[in-house]
Homo-oligomer: A and B are copies of this chain.
């Protein structure tokens, strides 16, 4: 697979090729979920001694025969059983000592999925959803990765029709607004929010109503087909 590299730098020869391959590449997935009116993230208990008691993001080394997007899909699939999710690359983190076992550069992705709808096969492993507000410290530099990913999500959320991946197929405008409020961490005015969303023309009115409520039911919407972005463009 990999012959010797021939990049043109006078410096290269001074260092053996093996040294260069002493860097491993991983992908870490910030898997956001939404449930109980809260934004959550899927974490696993770290099994490294150095990080005993801490949680970490879901990650794995990138294999020689898969590209970065494929690796992030694989990690999601392996850990959650899901493959119809939205993934977006965020940033590469490469501090020398970010991984205690060696030099690992990681590419962070964030992913959005509806907790209730996608009943994960979480039973027999140590994956758990954690409310963002309760996360103070994570293993590795994963808190920094989480913060960067959340900021990136916040920046995208009003520009691109991405958040629908966090909701069930059918949702009311109230549910959508509560989701936006969770992501942005601010309260929104109901009338202004509805205006802003309706201008974007992302929603399909389903002519259906909520049911089983002890108050007036709202209309149900779904995201229009052309904006369903399970798979990643970019």
Residue-wise, chain A 46-69 has the 8 Å CB interface mask toward B (1 for contact) of 011000000000011111111111
Q: Which of B5, B66, B92 is close to A96, meaning CB atoms less than 8 Å apart?
A: B66
- Which stretch from A101-109, A110-118, A182-190, A213-221 is at the chain B interface? A101-109
Q: Size range of the interface on A? A: 35 or more
A6 is an interface residue with CB less than 8 A from chain B? yes
Q: Which B residues are in CB contact (< 8 Å) with A104? A: 5
Cβ A68 vs Cβ B94 within 8 A: yes
A4 to B48: give the CA distance in the assembly, Å.
13
Instruction: Give the Cβ gap from A9 to chain B, nearest Cβ, in Å.
Output: 5
Please give me the residue from chain B that is nearest to A8 by CB atom: B47
Please give me the residue from chain B that is nearest to A49 by CB atom: B6
A65 to B103: give the CA distance in the assembly, Å.
8
Chain A residues 1-59 with CB under 8 Å of chain B are: 1-9, 11-12, 15, 19-26, 44, 47-48, 59
Q: Which B residues are in CB contact (< 8 Å) with A64? A: 19-20, 22-23, 103
